Amino acid sequence: MKSIGARLAICYVLASTVTFASLFLAGRYFIERHAIHALDLLNESEFEQLKAGIGPVGNGLPRDVLRDRVQAMMTDNLELFYVEVYGPNGDRVFRSQGLRGREIVPLPAGQAFNVFVDGLGELRADTFALGPFKVVIATSKRHVRVVMDGYERTFYGLLLVMILVSSVIGYGLSRMALRPLRLIQDTADRIRSDNLSERIPVSAAKDEISDLARLLNQMFDRLEVSFDQIRRFTAEASHELKTPLTLVRLQAEKLVVEGHLQPAQEQSVQIQLRELAHLSRIIEDLLFLSRADARAITLDLKPQDPEPFLQSFAQDAYVLAEHQALRFFLTHHGRGQAAIEPKWLRQVLLNLLSNAFSASPPGGRVTLRSTLMNGTWQVSIEDEGPGVPAEQRERIFERFVRIPRPGEDKGTGLGLAICRSLVELHGGRIFAEAAPGGTGLRMVFEIPATTSLEGAAASHDVPLHEAGTT
């Protein structure tokens, strides 16, 4: 069971049940003992009455006289007490009619015992000395059993009620006890790399949960300082590198323009210029990501129909596909509006499309599918390349993570990280999955949208060599 609250409630119910059952067993033991002791007192009281009614008893008292006197004393208690009188030699002198000819084997005088008699059930008997005679007086334990059975029935009823009540109380107590932990969980869940300033509320109580909250706040303080230092270093280093790189690039371009270089030297300078351009792109991307992480980029999101935006983007996509000898298709389905900023979303599509073109074989097909449905605008780009293993599809959105492919431009390894930041700034999400055909990769991003109730327009594929989009 994963829920701590449920475990606490169950433990509370079990503890309450065990405690209640233990008290019942102890109570039952003492109540039964007191009830049996009361029977012994009744037997003793009956014997004292017999003793007083019979008078002095000696060895010379005839047995017939003793039997008559006992019989006279027993006429009023025929149903309550069972009496037997034994002589010095163990022979029976008197037996109550209620015993119906059955015998109670006596024990030494002064001892109380339980005996079961057929037809009468369990009896509580006491042996008393009356001169040279032994008197056995017994009382039925039926009333004690009735009381104990009623006690047990009451216990089971109360046990059921106690389990129900303790379950409710245990659930309430667990909710109250875990309320600070839920507050810690909710607050910690809101604290992300872009929201490290929020802290967990700490109560004035000096308990373990308050100590945990203080410890977590101290950890978040250290994380915030570390993140700020990393962002500041990335931003400042990237900014400071721009000027010297620009000067180096200008000097290299000047050498090429002046034309005083040998062919081998000019080739080396051209390689330097390409590497400088590559390094400049990395710096620009790092600056952008630093600003995005710090929420320094503010998007001007306005609700608009995505279809005209896609039609405009498709014109450039057709040109890029034709330049790389590839086929590009676009489909759009549904009507509605999405809050977007075309400039940044265009960069997302260009990055994804560039990766798809690089991964596709000559003559391959790249498809952009757009769907407005159920309050979501979903855009996917599918290629026919080698794809990405399932265990690496989440990592490709991290910085500087690349899947090397033969003949592919090395790139910066920051394009998909930028795409994820821009999509998240739009309130959406981006992910990768296998293409429907079994080969290739499908990059998907989703942005909240308002779907029209007028119905969706029919969709169809538009190949590269045809004009227009759907």
Angle at CA of residue 395, ends 443 and 440, nearest 5°: 35
State mean pLDDT over 169-195: 80
Q: What is the model's pLDDT at position 463? A: 41
Q: What is the model's pLDDT at position 467? A: 35
Determine if the pTM surpasses 0.75. Answer: no
Residue pair 381/314 in contact (Cβ under 8 Å)? The answer is no
Q: What is the model's pLDDT at position 22? A: 92
Distance CA 99, CA 101 (A): 6
Q: What is the model's pLDDT at position 371? A: 93
Residue pair 344/299 in contact (Cβ under 8 Å)? The answer is yes
Residue pair 416/396 in contact (Cβ under 8 Å)? The answer is yes
Q: What is the pLDDT of residues 8-63, one digit of tens each?
A: 888 889 999 999 999 999 998 999 999 999 999 998 998 888 888 887 776 667 77
State mean pLDDT over 314-321: 91
Answer with the residue of higher pLDDT: 294 or 370: 370
State mean pLDDT over 318-346: 91
Residue pair 321/366 in contact (Cβ under 8 Å)? The answer is yes
Q: What is the model's pLDDT at position 441? A: 92
Q: What is the model's pLDDT at position 327? A: 92
Residue pair 43/140 in contact (Cβ under 8 Å)? The answer is no
Q: What percent of the chain has pLDDT over 70?
A: 87
φ, ψ of residue 453 in degrees (nearest 5): -90, 5
Confidence band, pLDDT 50/70/90 cuts, at residue 442: very high
- Most confident of the following: 180-194, 290-304, 310-324: 310-324
CA distances from 168 to 4, 126, 317, 396 (A): 16, 50, 64, 49
Confidence band, pLDDT 50/70/90 cuts, at residue 321: very high
Q: What domains lie within the chain, and their CATH numbers?
A: 4-147 (3.30.450), 208-293 (1.10.287.130), 302-451 (3.30.565.10)
If we measure between CA atoms, which residue out of 195, 237, 191, 236 comes closest to residue 216?
191
Q: What is the pLDDT of residues 245-265, one digit of tens each?
A: 788 888 888 888 887 788 888
Helices (H), 191-207: none
If we measure between CA atoms, which residue out of 421, 429, 361, 431 comes closest to residue 396?
431
State mean pLDDT over 235-248: 73
Exposed (0-12), middle (13-18) or buried (19+): which is 222, by Cβ within 10 Å? exposed
Distance CA 155, CA 360 (A): 78
Confidence band, pLDDT 50/70/90 cuts, at residue 200: confident
Using CA atoms in the order 130, 136, 137, 140, what is the torsion angle rounded to 10 degrees? 170
Distance CA 149, CA 90 (A): 38
Q: What is the pLDDT of residues 144-178, one digit of tens each?
A: 889 899 999 999 999 999 899 999 998 888 888 88
Helices (H), 372-460: 415-425
Q: What percent of the chain has pLDDT over 90?
A: 24
Q: For residue 165, how far is the Cα from the chain centroid?
A: 25
Residue pair 344/447 in contact (Cβ under 8 Å)? The answer is no
Q: What is the model's pLDDT at position 2? A: 65
